[in-house]
Amino acid sequence: MRERLSRTVRTRGKKMPTMTLRTEHRTEYNSWCHMRRRCLNQKCPDYPNYGGRGITICSRWKGSFHEFLLDMGAKPSPLHSIDRIETNGNYEPTNCRWATPQQQAANRRYCHQIEWLGQKMTASELAPIVGISHQTLRNRAIAKMPMDQLLKPPGEAVRKNSTMLELRGKVMTLPAWARILGIRVRTLRRRIAMGMPVEKALTMPLQNNAGTAINRN
């Protein structure tokens, strides 16, 4: 990002005319002003969520737009705004970045984290991967639905009394496991009815009439 900075900013320690910086980097200057207002001005409507809850600005940035611009660089696009990586942290070089609205939304304090295939994601990050709207995923996460219901396509009914099976920390209905593993539902139900441990019921290879294991891959 620094190569996009004007020559008036590139040399640290050189005092540059304030008006020149404001003119050449107007959007970055506005972001700096809004940051200071949120943290320092008790009359600002956003103060309770920033300065009012202990969010501060590092000493280098608090009084110098020049230093702020040297550390942050120019915005990648007009859509980017300043974002704190650790939402409870302060405004300082190691905790700030220029982020898109989508990135900022994913980083908000109230976003619900959903664990999927060993990764924690927000609803807005997971939605395009699983093909469900982020609002639907968010509402389901707030309702604390089981994973199989959380990711079920809209309009696909879930039986109230479906048998829930857990394997290695992942909980889904019996039909959902059958679909993912390529096992017939009745075969899986029979294994469970016989008292077979869940892990064995879900991982035991299928066999053909000759007794040879069937490769499901």
Say what percent of the chain tops pLDDT 90: 26
User: pLDDT: is 112 or 57 the higher one?
Assistant: 57
How confident is the model at residue 85, as a pLDDT? Answer: 80
User: Highest-confidence range of 95-109, 136-150, 151-165, by mean pLDDT?
Assistant: 95-109
Name the H helices within the chain: 18-24, 26-40, 59-62, 65-72, 101-106, 123-130, 134-142, 147-150, 174-181, 185-193, 198-203
User: Highest-confidence range of 7-21, 83-97, 126-140, by mean pLDDT?
Assistant: 83-97
Do 97 and 26 share a structural domain? yes
**What are 151-157's contacts with CB under 8 Å, separation 24+?**
151/116
Amino acid identity of 78? P
Q: Is the pLDDT of residue 3 over 50?
A: no
How confident is the model at residue 47, as a pLDDT? Answer: 94
Sign of the alpha-carbon dihedral angle for 105, 111, 114, 115: positive
Task: Give, in order, the Cα–Cα distances in Å from 107 to each of 72, 101, 111.
Answer: 19, 10, 7
Which of 7-21, 88-102, 142-156 comes out lowest in average pLDDT?
7-21
C-beta neighbour count of 109 within 10 angstroms: 7
Q: Is the pLDDT of residue 75 over 60?
A: yes
Q: Answer yes or no: are the C-beta atoms of 68 and 102 closer than 8 Å.
A: no
Mean pLDDT, rounded, for 13-24: 61
Amino acid identity of 162? S
Do 94 and 27 share a structural domain? yes
Which of 5-9, 82-86, 177-181 comes out lowest in average pLDDT?
5-9
Mean pLDDT, rounded, for 181-200: 86
Do 192 and 121 share a structural domain? no
Tell me how many domains the chain contains.
Answer: 3
Q: H or E segment at 41?
A: none
Which of 52-61, 78-87, 129-138, 198-207 comes out lowest in average pLDDT?
129-138
Do 6 and 98 share a structural domain? yes
Distance CA 34, CA 44 (A): 10
Measured torsion, CA atoms of residues 133, 136, 141, 145, in degrees rounded to the nearest 10: -120
Crossing angle, helix 174-181 and helix 185-193, to 10 degrees?
120
Which of 55-59, 105-109, 133-137 comes out lowest in average pLDDT?
105-109
How confident is the model at residue 68, as a pLDDT? Answer: 94
Instruction: Give backbone dihedrals phi and psi of 79, rounded to 5 degrees, phi first.
Output: -80, -20
- How confident is the prediction for the chain on average, in pLDDT? 76
Q: Could you tell me the residue range of the domain that residue 172 belongs to?
A: 159-217
Do 141 and 123 share a structural domain? yes
How confident is the model at residue 39, as a pLDDT? Answer: 96
Do 134 and 86 share a structural domain? no
How confident is the model at residue 110, as a pLDDT? Answer: 54
Q: Which of 40, 66, 67, 65 is nearest to 55 (CA)?
A: 40
Do 171 and 142 share a structural domain? no
How confident is the model at residue 154, as a pLDDT? Answer: 62
Do 99 and 134 share a structural domain? no
Q: Is the pLDDT of residue 158 over 60?
A: no
User: pLDDT: is 2 or 142 the higher one?
Assistant: 142
Instruction: Judge if pTM exceeds 0.95.
Output: no
